[in-house]
Structures are given as C-alpha cells and as structure tokens.
Structure 1
C-alpha cells in the first residue's frame, strides 16, 4: 500500500468512500458517518455512481463526485495508472468473466476517471457502503491503487441480491454490518478463515441532533418512517390501526413518512380502512422534517417483515432516532430489531400480525404520562450507550488504521 511520506502511523488515513447513489433521504446514516469520520481527522473523497434525491450536506474535509457527471469515458490522465499496473489490469479482465455471472460489471474504462480522482486525492483506504455495485468497484479500484478496502453490508445486499458476496467479503481487509443478526450471516457466508474480519458497527445516531425540543405530547399520535416497500410492513400497520378504530381505541392520527412503489396502494387501503383525517402520508422528507415529526409524535411503529423476495431490514436508523427522542417504539420481533427495541421504551410483537401489532400499540399508548417519560428517558440512555454515531465511527476508523 502507498502512503504519504509526510504521514505518521497515527495520522488518520485519507478515505475514499464508494456508493451506488448519494445522497439519499433514506440513507442519512451515510452522511452522519461521513461527518463523524471527518471530525476524527479523516480527509474523505466520495465517489458515487449516480446522484441521489437531494444535494449533499457540505462537510469540511469531504469532497463528492459522481460518475454520471463524467463528460466522456476516456483513458485520459488515468492511462498511466493502468500502464504501470499490467498485472492488475489483466487480472481485472479475467475476473470480469466470473463476476458477470452474478451482476452487471462496468468495463474498466468507466472506472478510469474515478481512479484518477482517487489517486489525486491521495486515498489510502477505500470503503464501500452496501455490498453491491459499489463494493465491486471498491474491490477493483483498490487493486489498481494498491490500497486496502472494506465494505459495510446492510440488508438487501445480503438477503435479496447477494451478488458475488462471498468473494467480496473474502477479498476485503474487513467488512462490517449494523447488527448481530446480519453479522452472523455475513460470517457464515465469508466462511472459515475470513469470518473474524466481519465486525459489528452500528449505524449510529447523533443524539445532540435527535433530542426533544418540547415535552412529550401525551396523546395517541403514531408515526411510521421508511420507504413504502413490502419489508417495512406498513400494510399491517394500517390493518392494526383499523382494529383499534373498531375497538373504540382509534389513533389520534397515523402519520407515514416516506415514498416508494407501494404508496398508491397504501393510500387507497388507508382510505378504505380509516376515517378521513385519521391518517396522513407525507412522502419523502429531509432529516430536519423527520426530526420535527418525531418531536410531535407519541410513538414510532416499525412493523418490519421479511418480504416475499427475501429482502428485509436489519436495524432501521429511525428506530434509534426515535428512542433518542424519548419516544415509545412498537416493532416486530424480526431481524435486528430485538437488539435495539427493549423494555421499557420498546415493545416487540409478532411480524406480519395486525392483531398483535394493534395490541402492542394499545398497551404502549395506555401508559400514563409519567410512565411514558420514564420509558422515554431509558430509551434515550440506551441509544447514547449503544448507538452513538461518534463512538461507532471511531470503531470504523480504528479498523481502517489496523488495515494499514
């Protein structure tokens, strides 16, 4: 691996972070992690394949470029890098035939401009978020740059589209995931001799940002936040709200924040099941708006399920954000949620069971104001201890240092 001649062993390495799409409102954890790594002294160059749904947050020490903005795909100034690396270039050409059996693989010429930018930035370690296309790009670029690389795998890239996943885990200097559930599966996939390089690093919360600005409202306002896809279980949440309505325990309002392919179907179902005014679909919102919605809520519902195609959530960040804001949480007993949703602030119910979900919501909302406040304080303390963004970024930084 190449390092700057002026750098000491204790200097935080310059990082290259690879993403398929950036930034996304559904992936605020990436921006939070970038901010915390920069605060630790890392200079960071982000290479994303495509632009996301909003402009990136300006972070000192972090630059962002998108491959879709490259005017022309040409060898250009990156050609000398390939000339000086004939073995890596030939090995890449050979490996492409194998990789293509699992996923789309861009020709090496499409990586030349990112390669030149990463080289110019003095990147000493590459890290990919999600073990899909960005991870394969990181593997290939790391070989050309002669630097170590790593990957954080999340959920769809493990369970729905595990493309070349075993090879990626075995090639990386280390890999991480956000809960014990996914870490155990990744260690199994990596296999003997590689499993010990899979680490648990939680997608943490900035508790200074996610904190209450007003007293708990003490009502029956339930919020759900996430993409409108099957694995979020929002269809079951609508059914549960209807059960409470029939039982005379209707919610003051059910607010769903997010967008996705199921939005029209969910809105139509809500209109069938619930009185007008008892539900709202806010669409995708920025982090500040989500904080405001949580600040006015009494409870967060996170009824995740394993989708028919195997896709699932691991440990949704919004659950940790809600706990940090002292909200009650009712969630399904699925994947990594039991690791973070615990009494007194959290209640777990059977996944895909609207009646059980309705019962859990009713029990939580029946708590008196003093019990809600005490439970909320315990939930915040748990997040501060177990899911602090700065502490989790420091763990990642140490792994990067150890990989030198």
Structure 2
C-alpha cells in the first residue's frame, strides 16, 4: 500500500494541521508521498517543514493552451486506456484542472500509488477524483469549512466529489450533520476525525501568573472577526483596564484593521504583528492571559471549521474566548473549557476578556479542563492513526466507515 497526499500547495504557512498530520504518518512509518499542484507562494515556512521526509512531487503548472492539454491527453491515454473517457464525462472541469489530473494520473501509476487523500474539497479533490478514475484507484478527502459553506461552492460539483470518494473526513460533528442534511446520498461515506496536535510540542503551563495580554492569531480576513476584537479592546481601554492586545497574521484586511486601530486610538494597546513563525506563536501563548478567537460567519458565508489556534492555546494552558461558529462549541464549553460569546458581540467579548485578565482562578480552572479535553480528543498520533485505519478499511473493501 502506497499513499499520496494531494494538496493544492505544499508547504503552506497557514495549514499547520496538514503538516502535523503528515509528520504523524511519517513517524508511524506510513509509506507516503506528497503531490503539490501549485508552487508555494510564501517564503515563510514553519520550522517543522524541515522534518518532512516524504518525497514531494510538483505537478507542472497548466499552460492554459490547447496543444499541451492534447499532448497530455494522448500521453496519459497511451499508458492508462480509458482516460479519454474520463475527460469526456467531465465537460465542466476546467482545462487547467484536467491537464493536471492527467499528469497526476500518470504520476501515481508510475509511482505505484494505491490510494490518494486530499485536503479541502476544492482543486486538490477535483484533481484527485479525476486522476483516481483514470488510474483505477480510490481516493478520499478531508472537508474543512470554506469548501463546504462558501457561497461559491457548487452543490452539484461537491456532491459528485462526496459520492465518488471512498470516504470523506470532516473535522466536526457540525460539518457531518450539515453534509448529511444537504448531501444525504453521501452520508454513508462521512467520517468525523478531529484535527490533532503533537502534544509534546505544546507543553501545558498553568495560567495563574500571566501578562495582561490578549493574543489572537489568524489570517486577517472577515471570518476571523478581528474588527470586533479591536472594538472590544477600545471598550476595555475606555474602562481604564491595563492590557495589551497582539494579533499575529497577515491578510487582505491588514490595511483596514490598521486604519481601525488608528481610528479607535488603540496604538498604545494593540499591535498587528503580521505573520509569525510557530516558535513566536507558542511563546506568546505561554505569556498571554487570553486567546481571543472572535470568529464569525462572513457575508460570503465563509467561516472557520475548527480553528487550530484554539487547540494550540488549550493545549498550552491559555484560556480561550470564542463564538458559536460551526464546530467551536464542540470544544469550547462555556464556563467549562472556555468562555463563549455571541458573534459580533463587542460588549460580550470585552466582558469575557476582562474576566480572564482579572480572574486568575477562573483562568486556571478553564485551562486545566481544556487541556484534559485536548489530551483525550486531539492527540495527532491517535487521530492520524484513525486515518490510516480508514485507508486500510478502504483497501480491504470495508462497506461502512469506521
């Protein structure tokens, strides 16, 4: 058995959960290869990328021209007869995706790949699905959030991917329930497997004595809700509270958030740090009294599935404040493992942050409960093992998901 992970881009700075999963498979001795459909577009990489030992293949960028596509069709058809029928049966697939699928089919055939797994039900799964049909092997994928909920998701296209996959992992019970309601014909393929962390890399420290620091991490995009965190910080400042807020991450809203910091007069309280490596993130988590994740459902219906930073903060003993978006309530139980507030609720967010900044005993109680939950549910070695068991069941032709 030889497995390929098919990814839109590898490595990718924002997708530590994929990296953790790959490293856990390698540690277990799983025969794994990685296929990247795009060249990395960022010069920043997490230190742990250097530990990846699996061979990484890069499928050539599609030319967008007819002649290379036709050449790829003829080359693949000569080795994998029937590939042309797959092309003909999928007329709505873009020429670029089809060209890469044809090249991927040849690659996995020549490398002896017996199963492919993709992350996100977008281009990686599009390409893996077509290549699997051409090469006559199985595929699975992990559905996260944007690939399920965003307003640009084509329901018919996603349905085909779900129904053709041998299994579909998703990262929360919320996602499973949503997909079962909207795509009932694929319900028997759905498997809930939590993302995980290498817990030894996220050591717990009791938060009894922490700096008056509110820390937040994420891409600067609408669904992260950082506008509301800034407004909550303004409310805390107006109450005379002594605190700082640091937000790590880059994105399309950097300029507008900087402008809001200036507009609210928060220059002495808030720092937009830009993207930061894992070492800095972990150090800040051990310093902070609060991890704020004020997630929202964006106007275009984009949303988080289950933010990895919540898992990391809970593992390291940093009390969390977050909202009710998708799978977050499955890990953040109000007053038990964190504090929950409403989406866009500036007053509630400010109050929750203030409680954690001022109440050491509350911080410790929430943090200990949260760490126990992380240990029981989010150990990457256990959860990656469930993925390997799933693939083994696929190989053996098991009729139902594990």
Q: Is the structural similarity TM-score above 0.5?
A: yes
Change (3 A) 1:60 1:253: closer
Structure 2 match to 1:7: none
Structure 1 match to 2:32: 44
Q: Please, what TM-score do these two structures have when normalized by structure 2?
A: 0.89
Structure 2 match to 1:152: 142
1:234 lines up with 2:229 in the alignment: no
Structure 2 unaligned segments of length 5 or more: list them.
396-402
Structure 1 match to 2:20: 32
Structure 2 CA distance, aligned partners of 1:398 and 1:196? 17
1:244 lines up with 2:232 in the alignment: no
Structure 2 match to 1:8: none
1:137 lines up with 2:123 in the alignment: no
Given candidates 287, 306, 318, the residue that maps to 2:278 is 287
- C-alpha displacement at 1:392, in angstroms? 1.0
Structure 2 CA distance, aligned partners of 1:74 and 1:365? 59
- C-alpha displacement at 1:58, in angstroms? 3.4
User: Residue 144 of structure 2: SS of its match in structure 1?
Assistant: coil
Structure 2 CA distance, aligned partners of 1:107 and 1:183? 27
Structure 2 CA distance, aligned partners of 1:109 and 1:334? 37
1:187-212 per-residue CA deviation (whole Å, 9 max, x = no partner) reads 223323x2021011111111110114
Structure 2 CA distance, aligned partners of 1:183 and 1:142? 24
- Could you tell which deviates more after superposition, 226-235 or 370-379? 370-379
Structure 2 CA distance, aligned partners of 1:237 and 1:63? 42
User: Residue 48 of structure 1: SS of its match in structure 2?
Assistant: strand
Structure 1 match to 2:176: 183
Structure 2 match to 1:221: 213
1:328-352 per-residue CA deviation (whole Å, 9 max, x = no partner) reads 0000122111111123330100111
Structure 1 unaligned segments of length 5 or more: list them.
1-12
- C-alpha displacement at 1:59, in angstroms? 4.0
User: Residue 116 of structure 2: SS of its match in structure 1?
Assistant: strand
Count the aligned residue pairs: 384
Structure 2 match to 1:3: none
CA contact (8 A) 2:228 2:294 kept: yes
Structure 1 match to 2:394: 403
- Could you tell which deviates more after superposition, 13-22 or 29-38? 13-22
Given candidates 320, 324, 339, the residue that maps to 1:347 is 339
Change (3 A) 1:236 1:344: same
Structure 2 CA distance, aligned partners of 1:155 and 1:350? 19
Structure 2 CA distance, aligned partners of 1:138 and 1:44? 15
Q: Please, what TM-score do these two structures have when normalized by structure 1?
A: 0.88
CA contact (8 A) 2:206 2:367 kept: no
User: Residue 211 of structure 2: SS of its match in structure 1?
Assistant: coil
- C-alpha displacement at 1:214, in angstroms? 8.8
